[in-house]
C-alpha cells in the first residue's frame, strides 16, 4: 500500500487537530457523528487526557468556521464537552524510531 500526505499549503488546505474530552456516556455518539463528516480524515478513540481525537482538513482561511461548526453541533446534540482543544496548521514529521 502506498500512502502520501499532500502538501496542504500548495493545495490551500489546512489540517486541524481537535482533541476533546467528552462525557464517557457520549463518546460513541460523538464518534458516530464525526464519522459522518466528510472533512474528517482521521479519528481516534483515545485514552488519557482526551477520549476523542480527530484530524480534519478544511480550506485555508475557514479554520475557525470548521472548528466552530463541530463544537456547535456537539453542543446542539447536548454532548457534555469537558475539554476541547484545536491545533491549526501543524506539521506532520516522520520520526525515525530506530535506536541510536
pLDDT in tens, 49-62: 999 999 999 988 89
Q: Which three cell numbers stand for residue 6?
A: 499532500
Question: What pLDDT does residue 17 have?
Answer: 94
Question: What pLDDT does residue 91 have?
Answer: 64
Torsion of CA 77, 71, 20, 53, to 10 degrees: 100
Question: What pLDDT does residue 5 have?
Answer: 59
- Predicted TM-score (pTM) of this structure: 0.79
Which CATH class for the 13-88 domain?
alpha beta
Residue with cell 446534540: 77
Question: What pLDDT does residue 14 have?
Answer: 87
Question: What pLDDT does residue 69 have?
Answer: 95
pLDDT tens figures, 59-72: 888 999 999 999 99
3-state class (DSSP) for residue 22: strand
Q: Which residue ranges in the chain fall short of pLDDT 50?
A: none
Amino acid at each position: 500500500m502506498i500512502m502520501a500526505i499532500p502538501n496542504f499549503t500548495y493545495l490551500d488546505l489546512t489540517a486541524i487537530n481537535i482533541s476533546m474530552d467528552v462525557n464517557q456516556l457520549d463518546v460513541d455518539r460523538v464518534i458516530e457523528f464525526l464519522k459522518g463528516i466528510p472533512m474528517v480524515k482521521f479519528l481516534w478513540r483515545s485514552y488519557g487526557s482526551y477520549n476523542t481525537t480527530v484530524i480534519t482538513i478544511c480550506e485555508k482561511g475557514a479554520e475557525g468556521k470548521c472548528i466552530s461548526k463541530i463544537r456547535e453541533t456537539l453542543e446542539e446534540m447536548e454532548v457534555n464537552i469537558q475539554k476541547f482543544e484545536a491545533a491549526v496548521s501543524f506539521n506532520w514529521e516522520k520520526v525515525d524510531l530506530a535506536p541510536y
